[in-house]
Amino acid sequence: MRFAGTSVLVTGAGSGIGRASALAFAREGAGVVCADLSGAEATVATIEAAGGRAVACGMDAGSDADVARAVALAGERFGRIDVVHANAGISGGIAGLFDTTAEDWAEILRVNLIGPFLAIRHAAPVMAAAGGGAIICTASVAGLRSGAGGAPYSASKAGVINLVQTAAQQLSGSGVRVNAVCPGLIETGMTAMVYDHAREHGKEARIGRLNPLRRGGEAEEVAAVVLFLASGEASYVNGQAWAVDGGLSSSHPVSRQDYGRTAV
């Protein structure tokens, strides 16, 4: 019960890593604001069925007004806000660099990068006024170097990593810590296409074969690291990006693609 009596906001809580995070925080005693465009009510129902405390909040992660409302809801329902897991994101597909448009980039950056910025912008001053708090943003191993995602997605996640570093510095002395988790291949709705294709063709055993653990990850494994970074056990961890990827980012092996040719 590391989070008994605390208030936590999780964006993208309707599915995947966000849902796993919301459930985990609730199991450890937190009151949780579950924010998402859809699915948040189901997450809340699961938490309440287990005896936990939660409230759903419809939210577009890239909307200033929506994020401000979600942060305010945490204070209204649970009296404070101690932790934010800025997790909401979109993949944007796997189109190549020259097959994406400016509009594609703008939408991915709006959700994946401006979204975490808005979470920090609205939550950090409230936390600082109360003496401190923890913000964890979901980045990706794709933000560490190339080879793990599409170009706009990778760029947006690289931005998240730099955002937490910049925010940690600008919040010096506030008691607010800002960190990121960088998941590798995790089975969620965002990666369903990869998993479904592998299973359909009898290649499920090949999922995650590029990392040293030779498997894909589970959302709960990422949530466990999020909870650690939010807890007092990580009181001296700030401005960092933690890879949760089975060792993939230790080398990022990837097939090479020549300009104008298909990867083999």
Q: What is the pLDDT of residues 24-46, one digit of tens each?
A: 999 999 999 999 999 999 999 99
Catalytic status, residue 153: yes
Q: Which domains does the chain have, with CATH numbers?
A: 7-245 (3.40.50.720)
Q: Is the model's pLDDT at 15 over the cut of 70?
A: yes
Long-range contacts of range 259-264, CB-CB < 8 Å, 24 or more positions apart?
none
Helices (H) and strands (E) in the chain, counts: 8, 7
pLDDT at 199: 62
pLDDT at 264: 43
**What is the model's pTM?**
0.90
- % of the chain surpassing 90 pLDDT: 74
Among 153, 195, 236, 259, the active-site one is: 153
Rounded-to-integer distance, Cα 70 and Cα 62, Å: 12
Say which residue, 214 or 181, is predicted with more confidence.
Answer: 181
What average pLDDT does the structure give for the chain? 90
Q: What is the pLDDT of residues 108-129, one digit of tens each?
A: 999 999 999 999 999 999 999 9
User: 2 CB contacts (<8 Å, ≥6 apart)?
Assistant: 28, 29, 227, 231, 232, 233
Sign of CA dihedral 202, 204, 208, 209: negative
Q: Which of 55, 93, 51, 50 is nearest to 72 (CA)?
A: 55
Confirm if 22 and 47 have CB atoms less than 8 A apart. yes
Q: What is the pLDDT of residues 201-255, one digit of tens each?
A: 676 666 667 788 888 899 999 999 999 999 999 999 999 999 999 988 888 555 5
